[in-house]
Chain A
């Protein structure tokens, strides 16, 4: 709008002509982009939207992957409410949330604040960056490879962990870590914590850089302890990043598959079964395609609710 103010000294007619020309140009600046969306929309339709809708439709059938699907109404959904395997997978998923969201975020916060506020001051930035890179290293692995590494370490006969325990005289503590119902889930959780810590750490350390150092100095002058500064300044200032980290890791934790596939295949029994692996089993091992679709539809519903919360909160923040 700003350029529409008439320029003194230019004859009226010319001014109008320029104005018209400008309007035409800005017209073309805002129009004619639809064609660029065609490949993206078509591809998303074929590869995401239609398969997604098909999956929902399949969840109302008892299709077995061959022949014609037969409508089953809500039968799958009724069945799932009484399926102890589904509830076991759901419960295990809560443990995954603990291991992938809650614990890494808390450790990440403490570690980030400690590295940024203490180590960087006392030993210099290079030292703190070194630690950050070190703790981040597991994150660069494909999850499946992380699983392979840990399956090797936790191997019952010749694995590193049992060897270490035996060597330091704690032979009674050696276990078949992944093969025993009591230790399988905690072991998988340990692997997840190891894998996840780097992500919140890196995000939080970057976030801390935008916190005004004056805040800390003022607090220090007022005699605030390190813990007080941590709670009242650090956490308060980087709330947006904490929020994003929690949401992202939450979504990841609901989709966790490769680690379970490599480490335990959901076993022993249903000790480490998670919804994504349960859906996979029904799709490709038991040919219960309709039931698999039901599980994945429920997973999707939970994730969509989470994204919805994310979008509303983010747009509220931007206002």
Chain B
């Protein structure tokens, strides 16, 4: 009796593991097929189908797609835009949340609601006026336009997150610093920033990745191929009709790789941040 009970328990245990593994395999299958088919020649794809492993590692397709996309250039575009947004957005978030969280400005609740709204508004509701404005001031088709727009949109989130944290900042430390003769800027950069480095680095990584992943507004503001970001360039290339199976797989892989790299690099920061943003 005891034994058969134990046996069923073990069966259930391993069956459930098997079920999970099957589920996981389904979820990861798209990544797998993209990778293996990026290394096949078109004839190999036609003959052996998409599920076979490549006969040998054929880097040609990946290399040609890289060149066709001018991928080095696209990586650089994305990197410059995402880094600038992260730095600028963080600067704005810091100043805003310093005033709202530490300074407890009058009307801070209203301002926080406005910032939260600014971050959550659908970009469609800003797109045309921004497009028009960018043309008007001569920033249309420049990366600066995208940088400014996303720095502001994302700083709205940073402001929301940081000011709720700063409003609980220990007052004694601030008073002690002021007593020692610090001014407001020193207070911000010598006391508050060092203490909140963990949150600031989470925000930096988030701003960077969010900007990297953006699609709609960069598409609207950056029509020329030379200015485009990685997701934009790959999506545009995919829309062309003369793409064969292996070249499509290779371009998808080029889009996936940077994100895997970020995930590995920032895994800790990210897992901390995903949950920090949701519930305080």
Contacts and interface: CB of A to CB of B under 8 A. Distances in A.
Contact of A262 (B51, B113, B235, B256): B235
B213 A276 contact: no
A39 B90 CA distance: 12
B200 interface: no
Contacts of B212: 142
B148 A47 contact: yes
Interface string B51-95: 100000000000000000000000000000000000000001001
B170 interface: no
Contacts of A296: 122, 124-125, 127
A158 B238 contact: no
A188 interface: no
A141 B148 CA distance: 23
A163 interface: yes
Interface string A274-310: 0110011001100001001101110110011001000
Interface in A110-132: 114-115, 118-119, 122-123, 127, 131
A48 interface: yes
A271 B85 CA distance: 36
Given A123-B17, A143-B213, A152-B245, A52 B256 contact: no
B190 interface: no
Contacts of A254: 122
Contacts of B195: none
A115 B248 CA distance: 35
Contacts of B151: 43
A215 interface: no
B128 A144 contact: no
Contacts of B234: 144-145, 148
A138 B255 CA distance: 12
B120 interface: yes
A257 B28 contact: no
A160 B133 CA distance: 44
A31 B104 CA distance: 9
Contact of A303 (B13, B50, B121): B121
Contact of A37 (B96, B116, B130, B232): B96
Interface string B231-243: 1101100110000
B130 to A, nearest CB: 5
Main secondary structure of the interface of B (DSSP, over half): helix
Report the interface size class on chain A: 35 or more
Nearest to B247: A152
A55 B219 CA distance: 19
A148 B57 CA distance: 23
A141 B115 CA distance: 27
B245 A155 contact: yes
Report the interface size class on chain B: 35 or more
Main secondary structure of the interface of A (DSSP, over half): helix
A111 to B, nearest CB: 8
B155 interface: yes
B102 interface: yes
Contact of B49 (A33, A44, A65, A163): A163
A96 interface: no
A194 B153 CA distance: 27
A32 B219 CA distance: 41
Nearest to B19: A114
Nearest to B274: A202
A122 B15 CA distance: 12
A37 B100 contact: yes
B252 A44 contact: no
A119 B19 CA distance: 12
A169 interface: no
Contacts of A32: 103, 184
A149 B125 contact: no
A138 B29 CA distance: 11
A98 to B, nearest CB: 19
Contacts of B184: 32-33, 36
B17 A119 contact: yes
B159 interface: yes
The winner among A33, A155, A303 for most chain B CB atoms within 10 A is: A33
27 contacts: A30-B104, A41-B111, A43-B148, A44-B156, A47-B148, A48-B126, A52-B121, A122-B13, A135-B23, A137-B28, A142-B255, A144-B235, A145-B235, A148-B255, A153-B33, A206-B275, A207-B275, A244-B279, A251-B120, A254-B122, A257-B216, A262-B238, A279-B127, A284-B220, A296-B127, A299-B122, A300-B122
Given A28-B178, A147-B235, A258-B231, 18 more contacts: A36-B95, A36-B103, A44-B115, A44-B152, A46-B133, A51-B133, A137-B28, A138-B27, A140-B263, A142-B213, A142-B255, A144-B215, A145-B231, A148-B238, A149-B30, A155-B245, A158-B245, A258-B215
